[in-house]
Structure 1
Amino acid sequence: MQPQLLPLAALAATVSAHGYISSPYMRAPGNATTAACGQSIVAAIVADKTSHVEGLPELGAAAGSGYHAESCNLWLCRGVQFADNVAHVQKYTPGQSVNIQVALTIPHVGSANVSVVDTRTNEIVGEPLLSWPSGYADEQAFYAGETPVNQTDFNVTIPTTLGSQCADAGACVLQWWWYGTGAKQTYESCVDFTVAAA
């Protein structure tokens, strides 16, 4: 028996946001994401800006969902396609300090990082620009109102070593990645950017 798909209104009532980049503009789904990933996955992402990655493949596996694993690539920006975000590409320069703001609404203690990711290979370019090896989004600190500011409002420096690797729009993203250890859930937000060769 195939799993039943929830109507969008019902799906919205069953999911809760956990965290996402609130600034700069993060990738959002549109027609290209629907074509690659299917309506069920897009509905989940629209209903919940975080929609942890582990929860999406099951939606894609449902009969008639329109999911195409090769073109969707859920482990890169949750499958959200660059073609839907062409109008929101940020232009940075080597060495520029970029402010990133993250909305954390439900904590899951774990690890996190912000990295430049090559979208062709879905691999981090160089080392993470900023990382929290443990203690990110700790539940006790969150509910006590003591989440460190540098977990939700911080700056990263655009590397001076990228050469022309990120010169073309869509080639690279700034990715905020967070893994909640107890929840066993991965959250990702991506910012499209270009940086001219130094």
Structure 2
Amino acid sequence: MLSTLLQLASLAALAQGHGYISTPAMRMPGESTTSACGKSVVADIVRDKTSHVEGLPELAAKDSGYKPAQCNLWLCRGVQFADNKANVQTYKPGQTVEIKIDLTIPHAGSANVSIVDTNTNTIIGPALLSWPSGYADERQFYGHTLPANQTDFSIEIPTTLGSKCASAGDCVIQWWWYGTAAKQTYESCIDFTVAAA
């Protein structure tokens, strides 16, 4: 009986959260996201800042408020820039930016931090940081701690962006992680601008 209860408790823990950017402020949903993606998606993201992307399309499809043309769930989990105008970071080319990740449940996989053009949902230039494998490996976590550079690291704003990210909402810094065994994608976005060099 006790082992069954422990198994159920561990499954409940797995259903809650896995990872997100805790610093700087990441995109979070509000009225614009509700209007574009529906109440179900927003409720899931608010309830669990680490909700994985694969679970969102099913929620959205059942919600009459979901507007696929306005809500790209594979870009910042559909969270709209309009809800995050107060959180836009201002950086300079070559500036070092400190990022902290809250990893609540690890799943071994790959991860990267990149600058994404929000109009096309494409990565601009090479990844700023990349972990091709071994990111958030649960075998390193339980009873130990993950390598510090997976949860507390710095990136450098490229000097090659030109004017691509000069306007708020045009670009995000995206932390992207795919847990291979879990088959789940986690992502968080930071809105920012950078003046042309």
TM-score range, shorter chain: over 0.9
Indicate if the aligned counterparts of 1:102 and 1:153 stay in contact, CA closer than 8 A: yes
Which position in structure 2 is the counterpart of 1:30? 30
* Residue 44 (structure 1) aligns with: 44
Aligned to 2:5: none
Amino acid of the residue matched to residue 141 of structure 1?
A: Q
Secondary structure, in 3 states, of the residue corresponding to 1:72? coil
Percent of residue pairs identical? 71
Structure 1 Cα separation of the partners of residues 75 and 84 of structure 2: 14
In structure 2, distance between residues paired with 1:28 and 1:35: 14
Give the superposed CA RMSD. Answer: 1.4
Say how many residue pairs are matched. 186
Would the alpha carbon gap of residues 63 and 90 (structure 1) be closer, same or farther in structure 2, given more than 3 Å must change?
closer
Flag the 1:143–1:28 CA change in 2: closer, same or farther, 3 A.
Answer: same
Report the equivalent of 1:20. Answer: 20
Q: Which amino acid aligns with 1:77?
A: C
Q: Which residue does 1:188 correspond to in 2?
A: 187
Whichever residue aligns with residue 183 of structure 2, its letter is K
Cα distance in 2 for residues equivalent to 1:192 and 1:62: 29
Q: Deviations along 1:145-170, whole A, 9 cap, x unmatched? A: 23100000000000000000000000
Question: Which consecutive unaligned segments of at least 5 residues does structure 2 have?
Answer: 1-11
CA distance in 2, matches of 1:139, 1:13: 14
The equivalent of 1:8 in structure 2 is none
Who is 2:79 aligned against? 80
Report the TM-score, using the length of structure 2 for normalisation. 0.92
What amino acid does structure 1 have at the position aligned with 2:45?
I
Q: Partners in 2 of 1:46 and 1:163 — Cα distance?
A: 35
